[in-house]
Amino acid sequence: MSTAIAATIEIQDLGGLAGDVKARSGASPMSCFQCAKCSSGCPVAARADLKPHEAVRMVQMDQREAVLSSRFIWECTSCQTCSTRCPQQVDPAAMNDALRAMSRAARKVSVGTAVPAFNDIFLATVRRRGRIYEMGLMVRFKLRTRRLFEDIGKAPAMLLKGKLPLVGPRIAGRAGRKAMFRRAAQGGDQ
Amino acid sequence: MSYVFFPGCSLDGTAKDFHRSTLAVAAKLGLDLPELKDWICCGSTAAHSTDPLLADALPAKSLSNAGGATVAVACAACYSRLKTANHRIAGDPAVRARVARVVGNDYDGLTPVRHLLEILCRDIGLARIAQSIRRPLAGLKVACYYGCLLTRPPEITNFDDAENPTLMDRLMETAGATPLEWPHKTECCGASFSITDASIVLELSNQILAMAQAAGADCIATACPLCQLNLDMRQKDIEARFGRQYNLPVFYFTQLLGLAMGCPADELSLRSLVVEPQEVLAAKGIGC
């Protein structure tokens, strides 16, 4: 990878969305020269409302509203293909992590995505139990999103095959984990 | 080299078969895999798409308990999160200091993390594995499917060639099987969208199954609980949605290796597979 070229093309922080993304994630949207190699390999480019190179371009152009409310940032599977193949070390996958957090903070989350609800339930389970209990996670997610019967037909077979234990793990140290989550939310400053 | 095992959450649930077959294979090789004490969830995609600090802190909390041993990992997603946290903590003093304040102790990011494929192929070595093969998987054509997170991003995982990894292929070859050349080794299966938007998984996993079939595969070998679940448990849904017929068993590579080493079928949890493998195995004269 040509670090030297990337370094010369990277424009100093212009503030705006590109600057925010860089500060949060280390991604370098301003280095992008629109080769679209990311979009060629992206598994969701064909279905999302933006392709990765388009999203990067919109970040460059400070199109905050459009990017933060896009479906694309929530349909990204974090497969890392874009970041692996990018000749400019833009790291669109890290950019999307930053954009998802910013989208939530700005209350711009695309209507219809269930990913933020899933992430919240997932992390609350980790905080409470220390580990993920898949069946409990599924039940909570279904209750929250009211998709009670989706995939319900899979449950009996999964139980029979021993893939859904009825009792979940609980790891000691719950108070310590809660404190850890709280300190992380405060940015680790304290 | 001494190891402690980080099984990850899935291996106590939907990937119980990965867990059991890993321990069965390890026993055949005399590989000691005591579980890492008090390990907690790596945070997975939920953590890194919510808060980068939490995404580094959760692995750091587990890795700082390793006591100098190498952490052995089975799940590709855990592997990715543990290695990414190490990379960021060891590479940036400011990240290390923030993580230390969150976790409550200073972790240097230097606990070695190895995937089972690296341990089997590189630490133990294929020559030693070859000596433990009792029932070679002769004639079994296997599409080795690595998924996303073992190889990407290569600067962090340093696992194998990012576009055409061959570690699992070489292991399957050592087990007597015939690994196939095929182009979807590292395509994405859709991962946890299985829960949030299954249409993404059906579409992406269909392409992987179609390509494996076109390459002439008898079965697929995986190294990740999400990949296995998506290709196996959703295979019937995929067939119905796209009007295809695959009937391709989707093993964990440890199950196939265990078969070749002569482990009994129940130690490998072959019954846990949704697409039943007996027919394919029997057709190749592989008893189980």
State the DSSP string of B193-227. Answer: HHHH-HHHHHHHHHHHHHHHHHTT-SEEEES-HHH
Are B139 and B148 contacting, i.e. CB atoms less than 8 angstroms apart?
no
What ipTM goes with this model? 0.94
**Within an 8 Å CB–CB cutoff, is residue A119 touching chain B?**
yes
Nearest CA in chain B to A172: B38
Q: What digits encode the pLDDT tens for the residues B116-151?
A: 999 999 999 999 999 999 999 999 999 999 999 999
Q: What digits encode the pLDDT tens for the residues B55-66?
A: 999 999 999 999
A184 to B200: CB separation less than 8 angstroms, yes or no: no
On the question of pLDDT at A54 being above 90, the answer is yes
On the question of pLDDT at A71 being above 70, the answer is yes
Note the CATH architecture for domain B134-283. Answer: 3-Layer(aba) Sandwich (3.40)
**Contacts for A135 with CB less than 8 Å, ≥ 6 apart:** A164, A165, A166, A168, B13
Q: What digits encode the pLDDT tens for the residues B194-224?
A: 889 999 999 999 999 999 999 999 999 999 9
Window A:53-82, CB contacts with B under 8 Å: 75, 77-81
> B3-115 has which fold?
Glutathione S-transferase Yfyf (Class Pi); Chain A, domain 2 (1.20.1050)
A78 to B274: CB separation less than 8 angstroms, yes or no: no
**DSSP 8-state secondary structure symbol assigned to residue B94:** H
Six-digit token string for B58: 């959760």
**DSSP 8-state secondary structure symbol assigned to residue B262:** T
Query: Which residues are paired to B115 by β-bridges?
Result: B73
Residues in chain A with CB shorter than 8 Å from the CB of B153 are: 80, 83-84, 93
3-state secondary structure chain A: CCHHHHHHHCCCCCCHHHHHHHHHHCCCHHHCCCCCHHHHHCCCCCCCCCCHHHHHHHHHCCCHHHHHCCCHHHHCCCCCHHHHHCCCCCCHHHHHHHHHHHHHHCCCCCCCCCHHHHHHHHHHHHHHHCCCCHHHHHHHHHHHHCCCCCCHHHHHHHHHCCCCCCCCCCCCCHHHHHHHHHHHHCCCCC
pLDDT at A2: 47
On the question of pLDDT at A70 being above 70, the answer is yes
A165 to B192: CB separation less than 8 angstroms, yes or no: no
The mean pLDDT value for A79-102 works out to 98
A101 to B49: CB separation less than 8 angstroms, yes or no: yes
Nearest CA in chain B to A85: B153
On the question of pLDDT at B179 being above 80, the answer is yes
Q: What digits encode the pLDDT tens for the residues B226-264?
A: 999 999 999 999 999 999 999 999 999 999 999 999 999
- The closest CB to that of B195, out of A44, A131, A138, belongs to A138
A vs B: CB pairs below 8 A: 165
Q: What digits encode the pLDDT tens for the residues A125-167?
A: 999 999 999 888 988 998 888 887 778 888 888 888 888 888 8
Q: What digits encode the pLDDT tens for the residues A1-18?
A: 445 555 545 555 567 999
On the question of pLDDT at A190 being above 60, the answer is no
Six-digit token string for B157: 């995982």
- The closest CB to that of A163, out of B13, B43, B153, belongs to B13
- The closest CB to that of A154, out of B13, B186, B233, belongs to B233
pLDDT at B200: 96
Q: What digits encode the pLDDT tens for the residues B88-115?
A: 999 999 999 999 999 999 999 999 999 9
Measured distance CA(B72)–CA(B75) in Å, rounded: 10
Measured distance CA(A8)–CA(A5) in Å, rounded: 5
pLDDT at A1: 45
Q: Return mean pLDDT, chain B.
A: 97
pLDDT at A156: 80
**Within an 8 Å CB–CB cutoff, is residue A106 touching chain B?**
no
The mean pLDDT value for B68-94 works out to 97
On the question of pLDDT at B25 being above 70, the answer is yes
Dihedral, B211, B15, B20, B30 alpha carbons, nearest 10:
70
Percent of chain A beyond pLDDT 70? 92
For the sheet with B113-115, list strands across it: B3-6, B70-73, B113-115
pLDDT at B215: 98
The domain segmentation of chain B, as residue ranges, is: 3-115, 134-283
A190 to B101: CB separation less than 8 angstroms, yes or no: yes
pLDDT at B288: 64
**Within an 8 Å CB–CB cutoff, is residue A118 touching chain B?**
yes
Are B249 and B219 contacting, i.e. CB atoms less than 8 angstroms apart?
yes
CA atoms within 13 A on the CB side of A185: 10
pLDDT at A87: 98
| Segment (H or E) for B179 | strand B178-179
Nearest partner of B18 among A151, A163, A152, A82, judged by Cα = A163
For the beta carbon of residue B181, count every other beta carbon within 10 angstroms: 9
Residues in chain B with CB shorter than 8 Å from the CB of A184 are: 51, 53-54, 57, 102
On the question of pLDDT at A122 being above 90, the answer is yes
Measured distance CA(A45)–CA(A68) in Å, rounded: 17
pLDDT at B88: 97
The mean pLDDT value for B161-182 works out to 98
Give me the domains of chain A, ranges plus CATH numbers: 3-105 (1.10.1060.10), 115-183 (no CATH)
**Within an 8 Å CB–CB cutoff, is residue A87 touching chain B?**
no
B195 to A132: CB separation less than 8 angstroms, yes or no: no
Determine the 3-state secondary structure of B35 from DSSP: strand
Query: Which residues are paired to B220 by β-bridges?
Result: B143, B250
Determine the 3-state secondary structure of B147 from DSSP: coil
